[in-house]
C-alpha cells in the first residue's frame, strides 16, 4: 500500500492543476490531398512573428525543420500515396509565454523547473497556419490555428504547429480547387 505523504499529495495537486504534455498530437493528411513522403517538396515556409521583441529559443531554421518533419511523418502514415506534392506554409506566431518569462520576473519560478522533468506544462503557444498544396495539377489552400501547452518532452510550439497543420490540411481538403 502506498502511504500518502504531504509531499506526494503536493506533487499530485501541482501536476493535476497544471497539466502534463508528453507528446505531439498527430497530423493527418486527408485522402484527397494524400502525397508521398518521398516526393514531398516543401517549397516555402514563411514565418511571421507578431512579437519580434520577445526572446525566443527557437530559430526560423528550427521551425522550418519541425514543419518538414511533421508533414513528412503525416505523409508516411498514409501508405499508398504515390504522387508528390509541392507545399507552401505561412506560420503566424501570435502569442507565447513560458516558465522562462516567469523566471526573468521572479526567480522563485525556477522551482517549477523541477516539475518540468515530470512533464509539467512549462510553455504556451498560439499560432496559425496557412497551407497551400499543389498536387496533380490542382491547388488546395487551407487555414488552421491552435493554442497548446507544452513541456520539455513536447514543446508547445511543436504541439500547436502539428494541430494547426492538421486543421489547415483538413480545411484545404474541404474546399474545391
- pLDDT, one tens digit per residue, over 68-87 is 999 999 988 876 666 778 99
pLDDT at 54 over 80: no
Q: How far apart are CA 61 and CA 5, in angstroms?
A: 46
Mean of pLDDT values over 30-44: 84
List phi, psi (to 5°) of 6: -60, -35
Asked if 157 and 63 touch (Cβ cutoff 8 Å), the reply is yes
Mean of pLDDT values over 140-166: 91
Counting every residue written for the chain, the total comes to 177
Domain boundaries, given as residue ranges, for the chain: 25-174
- 102 forms beta bridges with none
Q: How far apart are CA 164 and CA 166, in angstroms?
A: 5
Contacts of 89 (CB under 8 A, 6+ apart): 42, 44, 45, 46, 67, 129, 130, 131, 132, 165
Pairing of strands 40-49, 85-98: parallel
Q: What percent of the chain has pLDDT over 70?
A: 67
pLDDT at 17 over 60: no
List phi, psi (to 5°) of 122: -125, -10
List phi, psi (to 5°) of 26: -75, 150
Distance of CA 61 to the CA centre of its chain: 15
CB atoms within 10 A of CB 3: 5
pLDDT value of residue 149: 84
Mean of pLDDT values over 101-120: 61
Amino acid at each position: 500500500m502506498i502511504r500518502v505523504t504531504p509531499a506526494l499529495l503536493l506533487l499530485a495537486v501541482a501536476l493535476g492543476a497544471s497539466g502534463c504534455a508528453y507528446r505531439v498530437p498527430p497530423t493527418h493528411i486527408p485522402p484527397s490531398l494524400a502525397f508521398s513522403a518521398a516526393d514531398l517538396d516543401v517549397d516555402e515556409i514563411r514565418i511571421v512573428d507578431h512579437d519580434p521583441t520577445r526572446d525566443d529559443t527557437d530559430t526560423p531554421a528550427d521551425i522550418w525543420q519541425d514543419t518538414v518533419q511533421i508533414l513528412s511523418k503525416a505523409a508516411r502514415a498514409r501508405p499508398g500515396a504515390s504522387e508528390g506534392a509541392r507545399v507552401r506554409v505561412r506560420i503566424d506566431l501570435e502569442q507565447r509565454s513560458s516558465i522562462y518569462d516567469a523566471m526573468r520576473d521572479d526567480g522563485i519560478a525556477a522551482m517549477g523547473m523541477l516539475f518540468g522533468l515530470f512533464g509539467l506544462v512549462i510553455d504556451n503557444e498560439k499560432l496559425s497556419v496557412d497551407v497551400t498544396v499543389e498536387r496533380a495539377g490542382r491547388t488546395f489552400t487551407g487555414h488552421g490555428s491552435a493554442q497548446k501547452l507544452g513541456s520539455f518532452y513536447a514543446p508547445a510550439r511543436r504541439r500547436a504547429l502539428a494541430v494547426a497543420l492538421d486543421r489547415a490540411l483538413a480545411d484545404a481538403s474541404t474546399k474545391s480547387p
